[in-house]
Amino acid sequence: MEVYLNFKFSMHKGEYVVYKKFDKEKFDFALIEIPEKSRYSYLANSLLHCDNSDDNLELYKMLVRDYPDGDLNNNLDNKFQQK
């Protein structure tokens, strides 16, 4: 999924992007470009593997709001409730 998303991001930017760190821009881009059935899993796993900064806390809140029945929400809650 990461290779696909980097390819699509490179096409969008018109320049070669080897790797794009997970941030709000990548989160928003993934919401558009990743197929619906894979979208939640990709975003939730990305959030589970990055730091729990204030920026990522906001992304977590958006994801849980949009996917209230997500399988990984308990894990995300445990990670971000510590903040």
19 — phi, psi (to 5°)? Answer: -150, 135
Express each pLDDT in 29-76 by its tens digit: 999 999 999 999 999 999 999 998 999 999 999 999 999 999 999 999
The CA distance from 66 to 24, in Å, is 15
**DSSP SS3 for 18:** coil
Among 24, 13, 71, smallest CA distance to 50 is for: 24
Express each pLDDT in 50-63 by its tens digit: 998 999 999 999 99
pTM, full prediction: 0.90
Where residue 34 falls (left for φ over 0; alpha for ψ -120 to 50; beta otherwise) is beta
